[in-house]
Amino acid sequence: MEPSLQPALFDPGSRYLNRELSWLDFDARVLALAEDPGLPLLERVKFLAIYSQNLDEFFQIRVSGLLEQLEAGVGASTPEGMTPGEQVVAIETRVRDLQSRVDRVFVDELTPSLDKAGIRIVSWDQVDETERTALSARFHDQIFPVLTPLSVDPAHPFPYVSSLSLNLAAIVRDPMTGVRRFARVKVPPLLPRFLELEDGERFVPVDQVIAAHLDVLFPGMEIVTHHPFRVTRDADVEVEEDEAEDLLAAIEDVLQRRRRGANPVRLEVDGTMTAEARALLMRELELEERDVYVTAGLIDLSGLWSIVGLDRPDLKEEPWKPITQPRLNALDEAPDLFRVLRQGDVLVHHPYDSFSTSVEAFVGQAALDPAVLAIKQSLYRTSADSPIIRALISAAEAGKQVVALVELKARFDEQANITWARALEQAGVHVVYGVVGLKTHAKTCLIVRREAEGIRRYAHIGTGNYNPSTARLYEDLGLLTADHAIGADLTDLFNLLTGYSRQREYRKLLVAPVSLRQRIHELILREAAQRDGTITLKLNSLADPDMIDALYQASQAGTRVDLIVRGICCLRPGVPGLSDDIRVRSVVGRFLEHSRIFRFGSHDRGHDYYFGSADLMPRNLDRRVEALTPVSDPHLTARLDEILEVNLSDDVLAWELGPEGTWSKIATERGVNTHQRLIEIAGERSRGER
């Protein structure tokens, strides 16, 4: 019987936190890692680069959407009651506060620390004449030929400035007429962000080398001023699938529009830019003062990845080499994964367990096995040199039935996915793009094999992309199984994705947008009806109002709710009378927490476990194809418990969300570091100590 409780009696401002500000809170937690003096120096630099990239995406997607709403006169409020205008103002205030922290950590802490460690980012003015001569030669040989100065005058309109490109704004004066003109020089993105000097210790920003040679680009003119700047444009361009006869062509059109037609949403400048140059840029880009962000350090700190990539192991975390999951570990030769799975399910936990010796080996063995009849796989994001793609191509060339669901609408990976789709099609793979109106976000692979007993299906269901690069950095789970019901469910799911189907029921899997929302809601309310109800959820994001209200209802019934939410969280924990029994924490560190785990039940009654691709957000529950798999094997559920309990015990990487909506770092007492502890556990498991 459901408890009769009413979280809706609390006003929206008390019940929900703003999604956009919660995103910025996550960025702030990443920035805090760059500020942490206890981390190796280049790890801190890495987190500053990650922060910069995260903020770029935030402006491209979220801020651009709000500005479009403002321009269209949309006044609708978010669940917590903020209008688009109020959100834009709050975001501006928050980002400027974060920018001051970025300037402080980069200029006052990281740059001097790098200098002491023998990595010096120096300006043109700090190099001697001999070094300037060498840099000038490099400029003339390698840089000057690819530069295109663009002036602005009655015959030359203001040039299009591509999103996230680094540029120089120059004011030049004709000494004969005294006329001043504006000119823009784009720094080609294929150039290195920093030019290394001969000593191997000092690095000069490439824009400064170009700026020192503007007289070569504008011969006979006086260079009055020059300043770096960068523009961020709207990247949230959607395709109208109902009107697109050819989805691949439609996505290519979207990419073209993103490159050429998107509106500017942010202008980044440094503190030296003159009022004249700044006003001109604002006027030509049609931006307001609120859209201009001034930095005291370098513009575009994502360029610091080249510094992070230096061969300085003394300034980095000790690298972790993933282990082969013990049941997949054969000392003499590659194990027969199908034989292993017939003996029981295998759970892999990346990056602690190797992706290459589990998931890649699973698909690779299927491609070579003459008994395998078909391989069906969903591909959301993958790497530039993917062994899985190569395996699918080999399988198709060997005459197997191979189906690849390539999600063309995976934002910022559209072009890569178009390239893979065409390569797969040329090899004879049946390439499909999913269901109209829905993104396919599920991470699934189905293998059909002829065996002595008949046809048997093997499956992989995961929380992460089939991407070996991110598998070394993202924390994810995968289930390898020969379970008949799961195999049948995946058969039905792929038939839905590749053909026409109104499949509404699945045997074991929870599938969005069909059954996932309803079943998770039922499980939450089931726990609310129990005396010993407990709920533990590990998510990337929690933003769905109905799910949040159900968790409030459970809390009011006395259910213990533990939430481990890496990123966006719109739930307010610890509000008296609303969410007294809800705790929210976030773990942020060297690996990106990416798995989604759902645990319902108690020690006495037992637990229900699920994991998969879905977060509790409206888009995941209603507008994407997602899949969660149940886990029932006691050995595997024990590992899920282990992962959850380590996360809940962390007091090194963990942050806690308070009822007022602010995150605070959990005080370190026991020294439990989730990532380090799980590395230790993986090592113990590989040595047979667990």
Catalytic (active-site) positions: 441
b/e burial code for range 296-322 (CB count within 10 A of at least 16 → b): ebbbbbbbbeebbebebeebbeeebeb
Contact yes or no for 198/187 (Cβ under 8 A):
no
3-state helix, strand, coil in the chain (%, to 5): 40, 25, 35
Residue 579: name the closest of 601, 600, 549 by CA: 549
**Preceding amide of 84 cis, omega within 30:** no
Residue 460: name the closest of 369, 366, 548 by CA: 366
**Alpha-carbon span 638 to 321, nearest angstrom:** 24
Alpha helices by DSSP H, listed for 369-444, are 387-397, 414-426
Tokens of 516: 């996932």
Residue by residue, DSSP assigns 11-27 as -HHHHB--HHHHHHHHH
Provide the residue type at 606 as one letter: G
**Alpha-carbon span 127 to 208, nearest angstrom:** 12
Residue 349: name the closest of 312, 380, 320 by CA: 320
Tokens of 99: 């920018």
Query: H or E element: which one contains 538?
Result: strand 534-539
**Alpha-carbon span 566 to 622, nearest angstrom:** 21
**Alpha-carbon span 481 to 5, nearest angstrom:** 40
Q: How many residues are present in the chain?
A: 690
- Three-state secondary structure call for residue 327: helix
Contact yes or no for 608/599 (Cβ under 8 A):
yes
**Alpha-carbon span 75 to 290, nearest angstrom:** 20
User: Residues 6 or more apart from 494 whose CB is under 8 A from it?
Assistant: 376, 403, 405, 444, 446
**Alpha-carbon span 621 to 626, nearest angstrom:** 8
Contact yes or no for 43/316 (Cβ under 8 A):
yes
Helix axes 516-528, 545-556, angle to 10 degrees: 10
Give first-to-last CA distance, the chain, whole Å: 41
